[in-house]
Structure 1
Amino acid sequence: MESITTKNAIVHFNMNVYSELNKHIKLSNPSSIFILVDTNTHDYCLPRFLSNLESDDILVEVMEMPEGEDHKTIDICTGVWEALSEYGADRKSLLINLGGGVVTDLGGFVASTYMRGLDYINVPTSLLGMVDASVGGKTGVDLGPLKNQIGVISEGSMVLIDPAFLETLPQNHMVSGYAEMIKHGLIADKGYWHMLTNLEKLDVTVLDKLIYDSVIIKNNVVMKDPHEKGLRKILNFGHTLGHAIESCFLQNADKELLLHGEAIAIGMILEAYLSVKFCNLTKDELTEISDGVLKSFSKIEINSQDREIILKLLKHDKKNSHGKINFVLLDSIGKPKLDCEVDNNSINEAFNYYEKL
């Protein structure tokens, strides 16, 4: 598979990733190499990665963080910054983030801010990381329950996508990443949407080409608007309500945590309903989207108390401007519309629609 050039990085695929990584290390000659993993990728992914890494006499240190969205915090960043300092990292050091979206988001932020910027490489090990989180330069952490409130846009040198890592994933994490692929189809490519929703099953054997297509879609958008001044906002379809739902479940100890993709799946159905009301999406398309999403994602109970919390959390969405909540909606499948204002009554109607599905 041909490598994809982004604004400041290159995305490599399959076994080509290790030859490109080792070539980069030889050319850049880092003073030291640090590998950030979480507790899962330490056990299931690090051995494969280290067996393909050629570091010669360069010091290699592994730093481990806890697994999960609830650890995507500034406190964990502080721990990683301190570890880098204790191990003597300097501005010629290289940080490799080996993990899912939490590791690549947090690790990218750590690298972009330590000594005002280290070279870093993302090696996503989850489907979500491969098709979305690790590509495009968005880095950062959560602020309490508020998703991605602290961060910078800063690309590393490379993204290395080795689908063999997907074999280590539980099925719910595979499906979580699938939500972002569905989103790519809904905002940019009706044919890709139909291909995804007609898959017999989601497994590694069919994912190579689909991952590649998703990275192409995302990169085409990011290249035109790297700092999210306009067009890049379309990548947030399903995320305005999805992030608020994810945050609501994250801050409630009595609820089981929702994976990112599980929350975004709900958000896409809700925002498709709003697209019928405020844009030109047809009711038939709404049904098609709802059925397509629910083919892979189970319905989640969201009670009236949850709704109140979600509506309050919407005020913190990063697309908001001048106190107005701005949504990305759809005029039709494959045709998004930016900066749509939506009232709370309509959002409640959308929840009622989801509840009855």
Structure 2
Amino acid sequence: MASNLQPKELRKSLEKWTQAENEGKEFNLTDEQLHWEIYDLLGVEGLTPEIVKDMRVWLDASDESRPVQLFNRLNNFYLRWCDGEFIDAPAENLPQKKMRLLKEQVQPQQLGQRQVDIYAGLNVMILLLELNRYALSKARLKDEIAFYPCGKKDTEGFDNQRLLRIISYSNCFSVGVFNTIVGKFLSKANLIGADLHSTDLSEANLRDANLIRANLSEANLIGADLYSADLMGANFSRANFSRANFSCPNLSRVNLSRANLYFADLSGANLSEANLIGVNLIYANLSGANFSRANLNRAQLIRAKLYHNANLSGANLSGANLRSAQLIAANLENISWNEDTKWDDVQWLETAKNTPAALKQQLGLE
């Protein structure tokens, strides 16, 4: 989608926001002037990947870029925006001012005060996420730039529901606005301990994101890209991961009970000691995955690919449905099962390793 905002225009503003030409003055623009320029520039539409990519080039190439100062000013705006400071200010506040100017144009854009506020806040978040990614690639910046949408866990500023409230607020004029605008920019995001239950993050780019101990129960993650994301200890109970992209993720001890992982690629994943009660793993690629001591009670493993040394040692398969599952060279040492476990048409069980003698006898393999 084309944007009315041009890369050159954004670069010029980013430079201006950190300029300090007068001796003894930190910045030419006061905070109040900066806040208005943010609403004026970014309060109309969502930033595009092309514009954000150009910003990254500018950060690398320009002598005028001051990433630490830019980050600090934008992060200050973000925190104040999250608290509703700008939209709750007495009239005429900044969102109202921008809305009025838009309505006075020859071809006015039909944006209300809330839409202007939401666009400005979400676009600043996108800039902060990009600055965070940029800093991770620069040793000199790692200790000076770190963006935490919910604040850093175990610090006074941590608010595990901050992003949840932003998502709810963003959706007030159109469901899915947050995911549409910000979802593609969440790679490498610091979301440790964030409460994101029941949110829509379908097709979101969460590559390399830090979701340790995050709550994504009942979240919509259909088609999400979770390549190399850190999901250790996260709660994904009843979440929908259908067609999600994983690559060797660390899912140790996560709660995926009743989650929908239909057709998901979890090859090489670490699911040791995970709660997988009632999980839907139909047609899932689980080759080489580690399910040691995982609870797969009543799990749906129909036609799942459990081969290339998939490790099920110590797993609880009571009531699980393994109809037509492929068990080439899977490790079945010390698994537990019961009369409700379904083994109909299971394939290549004879190649599995450490299959309990009682199971072989039950299935007539001896």
TM-score (normalizing by structure 2): 0.28
TM-score (normalizing by structure 1): 0.28
Identify the structure with bigger relative contact order (alpha carbons < 8 Å, sequence gap 6+).
1
Bigger CA radius of gyration: 2
The structure whose residues are more often helix, as a share, is 1
The structure whose residues are more often strand, as a share, is 1
